[in-house]
Amino acid sequence: MAIEIRKSLRGALAVALVVAIAAPVSGWAKEGGVAPGTAPAESEEASWEWGPSVLFYILPGETSYLQPTLTADRGALHLEARYNYEDRETGSVFVGWNLSFGEELKLGLTPMLGGVFGRTNGIAPALTLTLEWGPLAFWSQCEYVFDLGDSSGSFFYAWSELSVSIVDWLRAGLVLQRTRVFQTNTEVQGGPLLGVSIWKLSTTVYLFAPGQEDQFVAVAVAGSF
């Protein structure tokens, strides 16, 4: 019975993933084929905004791997799909709501609820938080996965960045991460980051645990359309 439940959950989440990705495409088609992120002429409807990204982990003594993410926003609605985030060979899909506050000091909150399927199967409440003040920016994403197959496998994931924009196209700062996708000597890994933005694309290099035996590098490429 437990195996059948897990198979049913996996199937349902797979359908949710297709819906999460297909919904923006459907909306785009209804708007007359206007490029994603571009509002059609004389239309009051909000357009879809896409946020594809991929993170490449270069690990010592382990196989390097990619962690892709796709976000889609339309007005306050937020959809998100990830792979290799909660575990290797594991996908996750989320639906959430965008909230924003303030003008000079800008606060953004996106509470989400998602499902995880693959090597790990579970339910994950999540939150993305952004805080901007002039050239300073704080970005944090966290989630708690309730493992439906093994309660001892439930885990709190977090990724946080604090950075300053030196010029419009260059930023530097610090990053902290907590994950169980791979093992290191410390529960939380951190280090410096350096990011460059050109047009609608950005590339950021992260150096975790610098100078330590388990030092590793991650490189992120992200777009906004």
Side chain identity at residue 224, one-letter code: S
Res 185: pLDDT: 86
Can you list the domains of the chain with their CATH numbers? 2-34+47-223 (2.40.160.40)
Q: What's the CA dihedral at 174, 178, 181, 182 to 10 degrees?
A: 70
Q: Is residue 174 a contact partner of residue 158, using CB atoms and an 8 Å limit?
A: no
Structure tokens at 191: 């280090």
Question: In the prediction, which pLDDT does 61 show?
Answer: 87
C-alpha closest to that of 128 among 101, 163, 96, 106: 96
C-alpha 23/C-alpha 42 separation (Å) is: 22
What tens digit of pLDDT does each residue of 114-146 get? 999 999 999 999 999 999 999 999 999 999 999
Q: pLDDT band at residue 184, thresholds of 50, 70 and 90?
A: confident
pTM over 0.75: yes
- Residue 28: which residues within 8 A CB-CB, separation 6 or more? 34, 35, 36, 48
What percent of the chain is predicted at pLDDT more than 70?
A: 80
Average pLDDT score, the chain: 85
Q: Measured between alpha carbons, how far is 109 from 88 in angstroms, rounded to an integer?
A: 28
Give the Cα separation of 111 and 106 in Å (integer).
Answer: 17
Residue type, 177: Q
E-strand spans in the chain?
A: 49-58, 65-74, 77-83, 90-97, 99-101, 105-118, 122-133, 136-147, 155-167, 170-178, 189-198, 201-208, 216-223
Percent of the chain with pLDDT over 90: 75
